[in-house]
Chain A
Amino acid sequence: MSPALRHMRYVLAENPVTAGAFVGFALLIALALFGPMIAPFDPLASDTDIALQPPSLAHWFGTDHLGRDILSRVIVAARLDMQIALAAVALSFVFGSLLGVLAGWYGGGIDRAIGRVVDTIMAFPLFVLAMGIVAALGNTVGNIIYATAIINLPFYARMARAETNARRDAGFVEAARLSGNSDARILAAQVFPNILPPMMVQVSLNLGYAILNAAGLSFIGLGVRPPTPEWGIMVAEGATYIVSGEWWIALFPGLVLMAAVFCFNLLGDGLRDIIDPRRRT
């Protein structure tokens, strides 16, 4: 077994909570990949004869106002929600850290220019900014991803800037110059791997935030449109029925959403420990 794998196993064995978060993450990925195959019913097929049934053996999570199986809808929704969260976080991670690393490395005018752009984004209430972007660009999955990516970008940019700045004059950077590395190579091969561990914590926290953001946009009607199964819409649809006692429609998608966010938040520390070689003994 390679040292990296052995180290990963060591971290997971040391920390059962992290191991649990990894299992949860694997489950979510599995749902996203195989959801439509696992789902017991067609998530879009409505049958008004069985509308608003509470959880039963046939329909574990009950049925909604159109008689659709909520369990199936929750399972199938995982793919879309994960897609949005992962794509948005990947985008903001890539562009945010690129901007941050450049700002922290070159300083001066570049730093000020990037800093002001980031400050401008931060000046808006982020959810309102996301609403504005989706409202302006149109109600598509792609635009939800872009909006979520833009509002998360400042966190990566700021962190990458601070971490890079702290290492700009480090001895190993100067040594890398003497070893014949160009600036670009120093940034990519020497500085970036060193700022990765704290960034990974940010990535996992952000995954939870991105999923909540996407669900939030759908909840207020600015995201994915019905009848597409998506956790945020399902909570929104179920919300109107809570007062009349049909609690299961909103509860189960909400619980899954909460579990996913919880799992992402726990993932961060584990990811950092796996990536940081200083934790190896």
Chain B
Amino acid sequence: MKREDYTLRGWLMSLVVVVGVICLGLIPPFEVFGLRTERVDILSALRPAEVAIDDAIAEMEVIDSEVARANLDSMLLATPKPEPAKVEERDEELKWSVENGSKRGADGERGRKLHSSEIEITKSNIVAIEDFDTLPNGKFHNFIEKLALGEGVRIAVMGDSFVEGDIVTSDLRDILQRSYGGRGVGFVSCDIPFTTVRTTVKRDAKGWTSYSIMKHKSVPETLRDKFFASGYISEGGAGATVTWRTVDKFATLDSCTHADILLVARDSSIVELTIINEHDTLKREMNIAKSDRLRQIEIDMPMKSLKLKVVSGKILCYGASLEGNGGGVIVDNFSVRSNNGHAIYNMNKSICNDADNIFGYDLVVLQYGLNIMQPGQRHFTKYKEQLATMIDYAKAYFPNAAIMVLGVSDRWIKDEEQGTYVPIGSVDAMTEYQRAAAEECGVAFWNTSEAMAALGGMPAFVANGWAASDYTHINFAGGKRIAQALANALHNEVYNLLYEQELSEESAKQMRVQREREIAERNTQILEQREAIINNIISIDTTSIEQPDAIAEGIAEDIQEGNGEGNEISEDVANIASEDISEDTASEVVIETAENEVVVENESHKNSDTLIDSDSIA
């Protein structure tokens, strides 16, 4: 007797399982025993990848802030000053630019001073940036001034998964580049040891061994101290390739004209670069001598994609920066998943300093703290110390950049009893401690949760689809709102700066006009009086009447000397002049009789339009 065979039934079972599992994706999330289920999707690999976000516990060893501070002190002692321009000099052979190509800083990007009326600003609901720098003309002020003057600025945003995948920063970059010029996505890591997607650039890396600064312990010892602010390093031997491709998600990102690749040659290596632009494909090989220092491959030509291939040797690659030809704004996104900020302790100062010499950061934004908060926690004294230490690390790594701390974002948690979401209750306290740290270190601070509150807070974000239903993580849509608010705050600073300058220019101008008018009136009066006196008292003496210039000269001399010399009238004029001087303390009035010119010098304006023809006096 033949045994009954169940093979077909087994296959039918598998088929039903596949169909069933696919259909599982149609089940919306529901709650069972108070646990919320997720929608499952076995076909997710076929869909365009979405950005995964997390708020996991940091996996790296937590360094005590005191230890970190001691490390920083010894680090600063060991390398007291970064040596600027050294990288540039040495890397002359690693430059590649096409002839007749546009030179850096020479394309049509904005390079002129703006007028306050050009700033598109929403005046309501501004959450202003608080700058705690007590020095006049501090770094943050300089950063804003550079923005206003249309000079190139570079911003590094160091954060956790909150900004991963270019959330917030992509829209911030877009707004700032549209307002102040600039092009390109900025820095993009070579390879990241897990799946993540940036919608603002395409990256395809093969053959690299990549490490995260968050898994510091599992990084080989020789590479442990090689991290840059990007938080990810990739080591590759012959055959390792990485391609960065521009995407046209935003108008300023579809192509770039300048690129820098940051790497360390662990061995004497040969790399091959391939550039694709609209017209053709260009290839070039470069030899890089073995060296422990950061090297820069600099490429100046229009490109849509840039490929690096290790032909031989061993390369430690950080990533590439895709930019325009100088000018405008570059925003680098340095998000490191699960980073509470501690990762900054494990970065390499000389690598950061070298990169800073190449990139020239003007502003470093620190966005951390979301993973720290416990429900209802009101005191973050220890965290404040840590944050202050992190700020000082950032200062050491990027000595010329202003620092801005972003306050923690709004977060709600589920009330298990009621099943509804309630505020976590520690956002305001955390914000206060973060602000206090910023104040202590004399850096800028921006209150993210206040900006979110102005938009309705986390419930409104979830309701509008701007945040995940965990009431913690915002998505791209939410990031856009926060970027708008932050850009608005920056616009506001630029606007205020320009407006103040314009106002002082304007008032100086008005004052000058007023003064000129007054002086002219007085002069006329004096002349009339003098005429009358001459007419009345000395009867008719034609010579003195026919030479009014000589009289004016006499008055001017009187003013200059500042005394009346017994002449009532000229004393009067001198009084008027000295009154003018004391009224306008900011301005210094110098009247030069020799050239017949009056120069009004304002401290902040030395422009030629302040020259006044002395004819008006006469």
Q: Do A and B bind each other?
A: no
Interface residues of A (CB under 8 A from B): none
| B contact set with A: CB distance below 8 Å | none
